[in-house]
Structure 1
Amino acid sequence: MILKLLPFIFIGILILEFYVYQAVKNLTKNKKIKLGYWLLNLTLYFIIIYLFITYDKNTRDPRHMQWLFSLFVIFLIPKILVSCILLIGDLFRLVEFIFKKSKTQSAKFPSRRKFISASALALGGLLSYSFIDGIVWGKYRHFIRRLKIKIPNLPKNFKGYKVVQISDVHSGSFAHPEKLQHAIDMINEQKPDLLLFTGDMVNAYAEEFEPFVQLFSQLKAKDGKLAILGNHDYGGYGKFNSKYEHDQNVPKLIRLEEQAGFKVLRNEHQIIQRGAEQLYIIGVENWGLPPFPQYGDLDKAVEGIPHSAAKILMSHDPTHFDEKVKTHPSNIALTLSGHTHGMQFGLDLKNIKWSPVQYKYPKWADLYESNGKMLYVNRGFGVIGYPGRVGVNPEITVFELY
């Protein structure tokens, strides 16, 4: 498939480079700068091609693909932005040339072209820097999101109960577990009553979590730590040497998570007891729209739970909420999900929230309400693919129930 697209990719890159080089030409006549520009570009293209043709699909080391993703977003995406700005400028000039054929207007073209070129390259450079910042620092900028959530029929003993949610660790994307120590400390500083992990502890292989067991063992919560599986935890994105090895991947991951102190819920529930009162935590396996697996069985998970009981559901994929949960007769007040990561890119401000992922997942980050039920989508703890975060920082969510 990729081989068939190569001619189109090559033509697209030529057009892209033509436009960006026009901006460079508009700003300088220095031959050494122009030569340096092409030498840098040819070197980077050589590295990208080398990484692409030497990629081993069977490798379990993510660094090769991370380098490929990183160079793509740092080097090519900013050029697309530059080209779009220059193209818009060219279209405006074309319109002016057709409808305002005056010497005064024509005289303005070179200076305006220079300004547009400088602005486009500056914005492209800023975007490139933001991608670099996201790799080096952004993926470690964990923040605390605090919410007070009203749970219908919540027993008095659970008023003020503190639940911490994390999601999408993707431990295989981190080469140095110790760099996440600050995030572990942030969680413990919240002194949670209960810690909930909503899936994707690994990218594909259970062994990815082995170096992180000791780190996540440090997490403390008065009433324990509960977890569910996400789509990546089933090993569907990995290459295994045998069916037996594949079949042992999930049991191995569960054992490792148990060593770190988590109890993994697989279409079942856990009762949290305070005196004679109960809070029900429900955990389903992954349920997502195709091509994501639909292993979640909500009917099985809620068996034996009183209809009027206070309930919180852990379900990795937020599409489960709209497709099944909000109309389910079990009457679940709050669903906690992850999965989207906020695409690790976007604007996540107080009054402005945007990410490309919202065109696939309308409920992609923060709190939503529908049919009198609530869904919270965590922005994720880790990264996958592009090994960084730009504008959408990794999240630790603290819920206070009332």
Structure 2
Amino acid sequence: MAKRLPQIILLWLVTDIYFYQALRTLAPAGAWLWAYWLIDLLFIAGTATVILVRHGSRIQQILVPWLMGSMLLALVPRLFSQLILLIEDITRLFRGFPPRAVWVSELTLATAALLFLVVLFGLTRGRHFYRIRRETISFPDLPEAFDGFTITQITDVHSGSFTNEAGVQKGLDLVNAQHSDVILFTGDLVNNQATEMDRWIPAFAGLKAPMGKFSVLGNHDYGDYMQWTTPEAKEANLARLKQVHTEIGFRLLLDESITLEKNGQSITLLGVENWGKGGFHKYGDLQKAAAHVPDDAFKILLSHDPSHWEAVTLDHHQHVHLTLSGHTHGMQFGFELFGVKWSPIKYVYKQWAGLYEEEGRFLYVNRGFGFLGLKGRIGMWPEVAVITLQREA
């Protein structure tokens, strides 16, 4: 990460200098212009501190979320409002570079102010600005008894990041209000330690579904991102977390399957441990999970990381009808307007938010219930997904 420090600082300074042109047009001098550059010095100092202190230290844990929030609060409004300055400069190029128009600089600052408010909302209220997202998916071989079957999916709780009980309960009440047949959770209950869930157990135990609640583990649940005093302590943490799933009423699926029956017909839930591309551990074993499942069974797979779908599930000899994943959080930053969605995470994950389909096999990637690192969500709001299964006529 230290190697990226010069690039981070360079991006910050380049956008800062360009945006400064609009400020100078409106106010050639003033003490507040010096304050503008003081923000740069604080950002550089904070970034250097995060890089240089011991990884996982208390000061790093405190600084990183604040640094991320402050950077977005300052960088996003400048970066996108500068498009107005860029358009003006293109026209100035053909007009002999006359002085900047005051109204263009005013428009730039007004746009930046609006974007500032959007980011500020995301950092202060966005973490519990839950949205219901609904999908109806049709299958020709769905058992008739399950026509209209409803699933509420949540994922990426990251309970160690929560502080607002009322905010969390708001989301859980929204889950219960859907009255779905089952509730499925697709991993990352905690950031690192099972104890993070202690204060939230009663609230999550209050989730209700007539045909049960089922879950899998995510990459953060294994405790791989912190230093443990002994290997035994890490193992004990994972054992405790598995027990927590039981205490909140979820049946944890560890490379195994379970059958749901209704009116003499059935569908199968498969659950695998975390499997991810790149540097993520590949604990999950779909072959093991589906070992005793008939080939013609209707299958729904819970797999935390969406990269598992394209890398493993699509090529599996058994037809997995629907896969439910999370993991990406939609990077907790982006936009979804007029049918267009964008987030920087799309350059890392091909399937990163919403519904995907390939040859009759579907993947739904949930944007996440909680938050991690950045203490907020900007544009990529926390999600409760409601999926209805429909039998094709």
If the length of structure 2 is used for normalisation, what is the TM-score? 0.90
Gap change, CA 1:185 and 1:20, over 3 Å in 2: same
Residue 57 of structure 1 is matched in structure 2 by: 56
Residue 31 of structure 1 is matched in structure 2 by: 30
Task: List per-residue Cα deviations over 1:59-86 (Å, max 9, x = no partner).
Answer: 4995442112111211234344456654
CA contact (8 A) 2:25 2:100 kept: no
Residue 21 of structure 2 is matched in structure 1 by: 22
State the one-letter code of the partner of 2:145. Answer: N
CA contact (8 A) 1:152 1:310 kept: no
> Is the counterpart of residue 352 in structure 1 residue 346 in structure 2?
no
CA contact (8 A) 2:9 2:44 kept: no
Residue 231 of structure 1 is matched in structure 2 by: 219
Q: In structure 1, list runs of 5 or more residues that go unmatched.
A: 98-105
Q: Which segment drifts farther, 315-324 or 58-67?
A: 58-67
Residue 335 of structure 1 is matched in structure 2 by: 323
Q: CA deviation at 1:20?
A: 3.1
SS at match of 1:336: strand
Residue 112 of structure 2 is matched in structure 1 by: 124
Larger Rg: 1
Q: Could you tell me which of 359, 368, 387 is aligned with 2:356? A: 368
Residue 68 of structure 1 is matched in structure 2 by: 67
Instruction: State the distance in 2 between where 1:12 and 1:343 align.
Output: 20
Task: List per-residue Cα deviations over 1:321-366 (Å, max 9, x = no partner).
Answer: 1111122111111111111111112222352122221122121111
State the one-letter code of the partner of 2:315. Answer: T
Q: CA deviation at 1:303?
A: 1.3
Q: Could you tell me which of 232, 250, 270 is aligned with 2:238? A: 250
Q: CA deviation at 1:7?
A: 5.5
Q: Could you tell me which of 242, 257, 260 is aligned with 1:272? A: 260
Task: List per-residue Cα deviations over 1:147-177 (Å, max 9, x = no partner).
Answer: 2222443223222222111111111121223
SS at match of 1:149: strand
Instruction: State the distance in 2 between where 1:229 and 1:177 align.
Output: 23
Instruction: State the distance in 1 between where 2:296 and 2:341 align.
Output: 35
Gap change, CA 1:61 and 1:220, over 3 Å in 2: farther
Residue 309 of structure 1 is matched in structure 2 by: 297
Q: CA deviation at 1:272?
A: 1.1
> Is the counterpart of residue 221 in structure 1 residue 220 in structure 2?
no
Residue 110 of structure 1 is matched in structure 2 by: 99
Q: CA deviation at 1:304?
A: 1.3
Instruction: State the distance in 1 between where 2:42 and 2:91 align.
Output: 34
CA contact (8 A) 1:55 1:64 kept: no
CA contact (8 A) 1:70 1:387 kept: yes
Gap change, CA 1:146 and 1:84, over 3 Å in 2: closer
Q: CA deviation at 1:31?
A: 2.1
Instruction: State the distance in 2 between where 1:10 and 1:199 align.
Output: 35
CA contact (8 A) 1:58 1:239 kept: no
Task: List per-residue Cα deviations over 1:98-151 (Å, max 9, x = no partner).
Answer: xxxxxxxx5xx2243x34433333333333322211011112111111222224
CA contact (8 A) 2:5 2:47 kept: no
State the one-letter code of the partner of 2:227. Answer: K
Gap change, CA 1:83 and 1:237, over 3 Å in 2: farther
Q: In structure 2, list runs of 5 or more residues that go unmatched.
A: none
Say what the alpha-carbon RMSD is for the aligned residues: 2.6
If the length of structure 1 is used for normalisation, what is the TM-score? 0.88
Instruction: State the distance in 1 between where 2:30 and 2:136 align.
Output: 61
CA contact (8 A) 1:267 1:284 kept: yes
Instruction: State the distance in 1 between where 2:303 and 2:56 align.
Output: 30
Instruction: State the distance in 2 between where 1:51 and 1:242 align.
Output: 26
Q: Could you tell me which of 285, 290, 298 is aligned with 1:297? A: 285
Q: CA deviation at 1:11?
A: 5.4
CA contact (8 A) 2:183 2:213 kept: yes
State the one-letter code of the partner of 2:332. Answer: Q
State the one-letter code of the partner of 1:119. Answer: L
